[in-house]
Structure 1
């Protein structure tokens, strides 16, 4: 497949995005690494191409479009605003992806759409746009909601430190499960005797004492009751057609009242999608869906995947990222809710390249 063919598909997608009112933008290819590391943490370094510029300092080849688009909007964008873009992103191979059948492209094309608006129907607007563009491909649509999970974690009867640890690892299922199991078990006794030897090490005595105090406080905490572990595990395991999942979540909200607002929002989104002619029973709701997407999503997440190609990444994916937009808008004293997504033109082409043109 040539770059020209992928670009042609990308231009068709851009046409649909522009017809939906989006202004086309072209973010830089080289981005300051500091901003991305502050937002994503050091984990992004393992997946991005990083280099050193004698003037600009550490920079990255663009691993993602969302951050530079948000920065561009916060500098001079009006409200509400819609943007679209087409260009390459660059990602290193994941560890272990050395077999030919699992290799992914280090460089691939993305066509994206971002909506900055306070409209409560923004989630449905973006999902419906992607659904319409991709309808001829008969993809499997999946939806999730990270706010639903985070609200449930915030409701746990734990210390602020333990809740923060779980929230930090919510996108890392194995680490999350280990932390939850540890918090549910009786703490092992720890001996922090005060030996006569001098304090040594790279950390200061005050830093080491702070760490000891934190470990002692953690060891004194009561274990998380099994009923809360069971509730959380049941919530994270919800996976069903959207209307059926909504009923299950309603029942869980009676046990975890803090998720009621997120469940109500899902109900409103499904109602808004049905009003747009979308069969919501054909949308699969997976409560843990967002745990396998970009870490800045903090609300609705979605993806469209080829059902007969489980080895592929999603053909399209996206979600809500209000907290990211708020952080990047701090310098300008601005904050606005945001939701968006991307489509991979290369995968669209592999599936036949038939999408809706000039419609939104």
Structure 2
């Protein structure tokens, strides 16, 4: 399908975002790599296109819009605001050395909406906006909440270092599971024998000793009890229509009281969505939903997918990212909660191109 046709759909979505009070912005395509690497770590290199500029240093083709939009907003103040945008993002989608039979687009169009607000109903506002715009496509709505998972990890009876390691890998389910299994097992003995050999390598003796001290302290920790592993696995596995998921989460909160606040917020968000005319019984809640989205989401996450196209990425996705906004605003001493999302006009076009106000 032509770029012109995708752009036309993108402009319709953009008009719907503007009608919701958003100001259109156009972030740069070429972004400083330093900020993105600080936020995501070196993992971002596996998906972004990186190049070198003789003056600006390392730069990346825009892998998403949220970071530059947040930077722009924080530089100009941290007051309530709504923004929308339309443009290309660039990501490496396929791995290996050979071209796959059905390659995914490395350059594709995104239309997005970002809300900076302290309103208690901001999550519901954004979800309902995307729900209404996409209603003619009969997509499958899904929701998660990273706050639930992170609060549960913070509640584990582990050292701060071990909890931090689990939180760092919470978006990488395989690594997280292996780490959890290691923390639940008896520690392997370590023997750091004294040696008279000279120090070599880039690390200093003090850095090496600090590393040895951390490993010895970790080996001395008691293993995580099986009941905590079971509680965590049961929480991460919750999948059900939103009202039923809420009931299951209430039951789990009796065993992990630290998630009660996040469960309360979920209940409030579902009530607010219902007030906005959204059938919450039609929303699929997946406790691990946010683990498969961008790493900066730290609250509600959502997606809208084509039920007949399981091979596709979500047609739309988004969520809350308060911590990202705080990190990018700290240089100016500013912070404001934020939630937003994106729609892929190309996929909307393939599904017929109808959006809000164009029901068949």
> Could you state the TM-score of these two structures normalised by the residue count of structure 1?
0.98
Residue matched to 2:198: 198
| Residue in structure 2 matched with residue 325 of structure 1 by the alignment | 325
CA contact (8 A) 1:32 1:58 kept: yes
Q: Report the Cα distance in structure 2 between the residues aligned to 1:209 and 1:100, rounded to whole angstroms.
A: 47
Distance in 2, matches of 1:356 and 1:215, equals 56
CA distance in 1, matches of 2:245, 2:258: 17
Q: Is the 8 A contact 1:12 1:357 kept in 2?
A: no
1:150 aligns with 2:153: no
The aligned counterpart of 1:302 is: 302
Q: Determine the C-alpha separation between the residues in 1 that align with 2:59 and 2:357.
A: 36
Q: Is the 8 A contact 2:77 2:334 kept in 1?
A: no
The whole-number CA distance in structure 2 between the counterparts of 1:98 and 1:269 is 45
Mapped partners of 2:174, 2:305: distance in 1: 24
Residues 35 and 357 of structure 1: is their aligned pair in 2 closer, same or farther, counting only changes over 3 Å? farther
Match of 1:246 in 2: 246
1:50 & 1:183 partners in 2: Cα distance?
36
Pick closer, same or farther for the CA change 1:210–1:78 going to 2, 3 Å: closer
* Matching of residue 91 in structure 1 with residue 91 in structure 2: yes
Task: For residue 187 of structure 2, give the secondary structure of its aligned residue in structure 1.
Answer: coil
- Equivalents in 1 of 2:301, 2:102: separation in Å? 25
CA drift of 1:94 comes to: 3.0
8 Å Cα contact 1:156-1:228 kept in structure 2: yes
Aligned to 1:131: 131
For the aligned residue pairs, the C-alpha RMSD in angstroms reads 1.4
Cα displacement string for residues 278-321 of structure 1 (whole angstroms, at most 9, x for unaligned residues): 11000000000000000000000000000000000000000000
Partner of 1:272: 272
The answer to whether the aligner puts 1:121 opposite 2:121 as a matched pair is yes
In structure 2, what is the Cα distance between the partners aligned to 1:183 and 1:256? Answer: 18
Q: CA deviation at 1:93?
A: 2.7
Structure-2-length-normalised TM-score:
0.98
* C-alpha spacing 1:295/1:111, structure 2 compared with 1 (3 Å): same
Q: Do the aligned partners of residues 201 and 273 (structure 1) sit closer, same or farther apart at CA in structure 2, a change above 3 Å counting?
A: same
2:318 is aligned with 1:339: no
Distance 2:271 2:216 in 1: 49
Unpaired stretches in structure 1, ≥5 consecutive residues: none
Give the secondary structure class of the aligned counterpart of 1:129: helix
Residue 97 and residue 241 in structure 1: after superposition, are their counterparts in 2 closer, same or farther (change >3 A)? farther
Q: CA deviation at 1:101?
A: 4.4
Distance in 1, Cα, partners of 2:216 & 2:183: 14
Asked if 2 retains the 8 angstrom alpha-carbon contact of 1:326 and 1:334, the reply is yes
- Tell me if the contact between 1:15 and 1:357 (Cα under 8 Å) persists in the aligned partners: no
Distance 1:45 1:349 in 2: 30
1:67-108 CA-to-partner distances (Å, cap 9, x unmatched) read 000011111146210000000000113325956444110100
Q: Give runs of aligned pairs for residues 141-220 of structure 1, distance below 5 A.
A: 141-220=141-220
Q: Which moved more, 1:199-208 or 1:93-102?
A: 93-102
Paired residue secondary structure (2:278): coil
Match of residue 234 from structure 1: 234
Please name the residue that 2:106 is paired with. 106
Distance 1:320 1:13 in 2: 21
SS in 1 for 2:335: coil
Structure 2 distance, partners of 1:101, 1:340, is 33
